Structure 1
Amino acid sequence: MKKLSCITLFLLAIMLLVRFHSVAQNRAMTYNIRYATTNDQENQWDNRKAELCELLNYYRPGFIGLQESLPIQNEYIDEQLPSYKYIGFGREGEGSNSESAPIFYDSTLYQLLDQEVFWLSPTPSQISIGWDASYKRVATIGIFRDLNSRDTLFVINTHFDHMGQIAREKSASLLLTKIQALKTESKSLILMGDFNSLPSDTPIQILTQKLEDTYTSSLSKPYGPVGTFNGFDSQLIPSQRIDYIFGKNLKVLSYRAVNDKRSNGLCISDHLPVLIEWEQSQKLK
């Protein structure tokens, strides 16, 4: 009887580990980490990079979409997250020392099948600036295989221009065109990033014609502040929601704006990361 009890406990432990693994892989995070500049003084990259990686390691999303990340930042994060790999390159072209919108993914959970970087402009396959934008802007696409379910998953990460209103609207339409070309009708898709737009703004209204805003589609009440931009003000409760995760064929279980702070009480970045947990749609089975 005692032997049977030990076997039962062992099997229960295995079941709990399998369940935890399944939940952990169905997480995605978008995070504008603020580019590395000494102008930020106490908030500069070298002062906060270790705690930023501690946050990523603590929540361990299967996918992490970063914005404003320079090569030196990508390399540091890559070193600190040994099971992750990343795709994407800077807006000035491959090999440049420029801001990127990379996708980090846990390679123990997902296999990369294909990838693409394109520019948010009328000529997306060329290094180019779009419409009335102040900077070149890019989006990174990754096509992945879930190593557990064997399903295909599409992940897109981007950063819309902060000045060009027309550019933001045109970028939203371009993304929908790209998504349509991917033929994702029966597949799970995640679009995430810093869209520099409020929920009532036209770019978000364009995107939600075809995609779900996970803030509103989450089955549980969103946790944390409504807003995602803090401007490094550690006393502020953010109210401006400009960072989003959109989904297609996802059953979103939870949504969280992560308002964790550094050990000294300062902000880890000038944006909050957004974290979702999801379950794949029954349509995919």
Structure 2
Amino acid sequence: MMRYTAKYLKMSLLMFLFTTVGVAQNLTVISYNIRYNSQSDGEDIWDLRKGELVGQINQHSPDSFGVQEATQIQMQYILEALPEYAYVGVGRDNGATKGEYSAVFYLKEKFKLLESKTFWLSETPEEVSVGWDAALPRICTYAQFKEHTTGRVFWHFNTHFDHVGKAARANSALLIIEKIKSLVSTESVFVLTGDFNASPNELPITHLKNAFRDPLEYIELSGPEGTFNAFNLQAPLDRRIDYIFFQGLTPLSYAHLSEKRANGRWISDHLPVKFDLAY
């Protein structure tokens, strides 16, 4: 009971602060590790699930969404299947089209793109690089948008932490916090989406929760506790490694989407995270 009371009080405070500012505008944001197009995935290869993946995105109609593990061929397919969106981002291996993207897609009719950039999660973030004890290059892509109808400004940061390097994950969190604080004022609105390859009690998430806000501190989760299924139909779904953090927004709902393909298999090896909010 105390946990729910604390969430209610936090939410009430956010709503009070928000309603003193102006009329609410609703946004929907999604974070989605779409699983790269590996030819060793058998029944779960990209070509067999790509149509239902873009159908799922279309069904939930996000205003912006961040993808992880997307290769150039996947990026092109999503762009062609969902022409109402544009994207910002680059491949992590060369800063162009090679390697996985952590791209941000956005509705062209809703937002004007003001600024975008990608930096590497390493000691040399302005260069293509592998940081600390990471196994692979890792990146964060961000975009600053202006809403056409209201003129309100909104930032979206998107990332994918290393799956091997413990120090890399912790330092990546600190680097992203530093970058966001250097770019975004404390009054500005932003979301940070991503696959952080870390559970809620691990150091990278502790760093991020200390700096920013986790919607689940304010509202209840809809869907399974976890976000990683590994294409296992019997997965317990108790491992939360995909998150959306925020600032300057009022959380409305937060869900781990567990829809499956028509044949009963998973759409990706991660569940997408959907965040409805007002700002």
Q: Same fold (TM over 0.5)?
A: yes
Mark the runs of 5 or more structure 1 residues left unpaired by the alignment: 1-21, 281-285
Q: Does the residue aligned with 1:181 lie in a helix, a strand or coil?
A: helix
For residues 141 and 218 of structure 2, the distance between their equivalents in structure 1, rounded to whole angstroms, comes to 24
Equivalent residue letter for 2:85: Y
Matching residue of 2:267: 268
Distance 1:72 1:92 in 2: 15
> More deviation in 253-262 or 142-151?
142-151
Deviation of residue 108 (structure 1)?
A: 1.2
Contact 1:134 1:163 in 2 (8 A): yes
Contact preservation (8 Å) 1:214, 1:252: yes
Query: Aligned residue for 1:31?
Result: 32
Contact 1:212 1:246 in 2 (8 A): yes
Q: Secondary structure at the match of 2:146?
A: strand
Query: For residue 191 of structure 2, what is the amino acid of its counterpart?
Result: I
Distance in 1 between residues matched to 2:124 and 2:95, nearest whole Å: 17
Is the 8 Å Cα contact of residues 25 and 61 (structure 1) preserved in structure 2? no
TM superposition score normalised by structure 2: 0.90
Partner-residue secondary structure (3-state), 1:171: helix
| Structure 2, gaps ≥5 residues long | 1-22
Moved more, 240-249 or 209-218: 209-218
Structure 2 counterpart of 1:14? none
The one of the two structures with greater contact order (alpha-carbon pairs below 8 A, sep at least 6) is 2
Task: Give the structure 2 partner of residue 279 of structure 1.
Answer: 278
Can you list the C-alpha shifts for 1:244-271, whole angstroms capped at 9, x where unaligned? 0000011000001000000000000000
Aligned to 1:213: 214
SS where residue 205 of structure 1 aligns? helix
Look up the match of 2:246: 247
Check the 8 A contact 2:144/2:154 in 1, yes or no.
Answer: yes
Q: Match of 2:59, as an amino acid?
A: Y
SS in 2 for 1:144: strand
Question: Does the residue aligned with 1:38 lie in a helix, a strand or coil?
Answer: coil
User: Residue 130 in 1 paired to residue 128 in 2?
Assistant: no
Q: Which is further off, 205-214 or 195-204?
A: 205-214
**Residues 2-17 of structure 1: matches in 2 within 5 Å?**
none
Report if the CA contact (8 A) 1:24-1:60 is conserved. no
1:195 aligns with 2:196: yes
Q: How does 1:142-161 map to 2 (within 5 A)?
A: 142-161=143-162
Superposed displacement of residue 237, structure 1: 3.8
Q: How many residues align?
A: 257
Q: What CA RMSD, in Å, does the superposition of the two structures yield over aligned residues?
A: 1.4
Q: CA deviation at 1:236?
A: 2.5
Asked whether the equivalents of residues 95 and 128 of structure 2 are also in contact (C-alpha less than 8 Å), the reply is: no
Counterpart residue number, 1:229:
228
Q: Which residue of 1 aligns with 2:90?
A: 89
Q: TM-score, normalised by structure 1?
A: 0.88
* C-alpha distance in structure 2 between counterparts of 1:274 and 1:40, whole Å: 22
**Contact persistence 2:25–2:278 (CA under 8 A):** no
Matches within 5 A, 1:62-77: 62-77=63-78
State the one-letter code of the partner of 1:59: H
Q: Is the 8 A contact 1:25 1:62 kept in 2?
A: no
Give deviations 1:147-185, integer Å, cap 9, x for gaps. Answer: 232111111000000010000000000001101110321
Preserved CA contact (<8 Å) 2:102 2:158: yes
Aligned residue number for residue 16 of structure 2: none
Distance 2:236 2:106 in 1: 30
Greater Cα radius of gyration, structure 1 or 2: 1
- CA shift, 1:222, in A, is 1.2
